[in-house]
Structure 1
Amino acid sequence: MFYINLEIQDIKISSIEKEDLEKVYQWLSCEDSFIEYRQFYERFLEYYLSECEFFLKINKNSNLIGIIKGKVEFKNPNEVWLSYFILESRMRNQGIGSEILNGIINYFFKDCGIVKFYVKVKENNFKSLVFLRKNNFSPIKLSQGIGDKNVILISSINRI
């Protein structure tokens, strides 16, 4: 587990602990993605048992508004791969997602010296593609994904 705890104005981003699982799962079940609890718990265990994975809850005024999951790959140069970034639907299109994404990028840049960030997005997930393009991510590769769906790999080199 790669432990993270940071604040961006009134938003607190911190690592998910075992006691958070039920609340996070209930929140996730009400948002865009539905996932069975068993599968959700497996994702938690992957993170919990790995030194390089992070699984974060995003709270605003003590209310859960999102999650981020990813991993750090220590190589030359070091990289961060984001696998989930889900923000509560009523919080979207207000600049909060960009604030959070840039806060995470700045955290990894300043604390870990990481300048390469990658995200896998399904080719037909237009809202995510627009959001990432708006935040200085660019398509670099089209690959075959699970279920024969294309996935675009998107990279950003931090320009702080």
Structure 2
Amino acid sequence: MLELKINFNDINISNIDEHELTEIQAWMEVENQFAYGEDSLEELYERYLESYISECEFFLKINNKDELIGILKGRLELKNPNEVWIWFFYLNHEYRNASIGMKIIQELMNYFFDEYGIDIYFTRIIKENEENIVFWKNIGFKIVRIVKDFYCIDGKSMDMLIMKKVISL
């Protein structure tokens, strides 16, 4: 797992430890914003193991002071050119319209630029999630690809959007 620590204001972003998975799963159930089965402890443990065994993946908790307010999972791709993929980013409902989400993503991009010189970022989202599309567009991400019928949620096929941003600091 890629070790990562970012602190700004009262926000602390750091790696999830295995012993924290139960707390994170309980938070996911309370937030109730996840696809069916995605919030089970077994599924969360699988996502954790994927990150744990890969030196380029990260699985992060986001705390405001000592309160868990979000999680973020992604991967550093070391190729030419290097890039970062954000697989998912979930934030408490109460923080979504407070611009804190944008600040978290900007701090994450600044971290990877400062530490690894990376200026290319990707994310993937469900096409039908208008709120997410607007969020990522407001940060400067642009849709670069649509993958038809990538997701199957509650028996319904949904397209995946791949969005990209190249930063210039």
Fold agreement, TM-score > 0.5 = yes
The two structures, once aligned, show a CA RMSD in angstroms of 0.9
Q: Distance in 1 between matches of 2:113 and 2:40?
A: 34
- Supply the AA of the counterpart residue of 1:113: G
Q: Does 1:14 align with 2:14?
A: yes
Q: Does 1:64 align with 2:68?
A: yes
Q: Distance in 2 between matches of 1:129 and 1:96?
A: 16
- Supply the AA of the counterpart residue of 2:48: F
- Supply the AA of the counterpart residue of 1:73: E
Out of 137, 141, 151, the residue aligned to residue 146 of structure 1 is 151
**Runs of 4 or more above 3 Å deviation:** none
Aligned residue for 2:122, secondary structure, equals strand
Matches within 5 A, 1:4-153: 4-31=4-31, 32-33=33-34, 35-144=39-148, 145-147=150-152, 148-153=157-162
Q: Distance in 2 between matches of 1:61 and 1:70?
A: 23
- Supply the AA of the counterpart residue of 1:99: K
Q: Distance in 1 between matches of 2:67 and 2:145?
A: 36
- How far does residue 28 in structure 1 lie from its aligned partner after superposition? 1.2
Q: Distance in 2 between matches of 1:26 and 1:3?
A: 24
Q: Percent identity?
A: 35
Q: Bigger shift: 103-112 or 27-36?
A: 27-36
Using structure 1 for the length normalisation, give the TM-score: 0.97
Out of 121, 143, 167, the residue aligned to residue 158 of structure 1 is 167
Using structure 2 for the length normalisation, give the TM-score: 0.92
- Supply the AA of the counterpart residue of 1:110: D
Aligned length: 160
CA offset digits 1:33-54 (Å, max 9, x no partner): 1521111111111011111110
Q: Bigger shift: 146-155 or 5-14?
A: 146-155
CA offset digits 1:15-40 (Å, max 9, x no partner): 00112111111111111115211111
Q: Bigger shift: 100-109 or 139-148?
A: 139-148
Q: Distance in 1 between matches of 2:127 and 2:18?
A: 33
Unaligned runs of 5+ in 1: none
Unaligned runs of 5+ in 2: none
- Supply the AA of the counterpart residue of 1:84: F
- How far does residue 146 in structure 1 lie from its aligned partner after superposition? 2.6
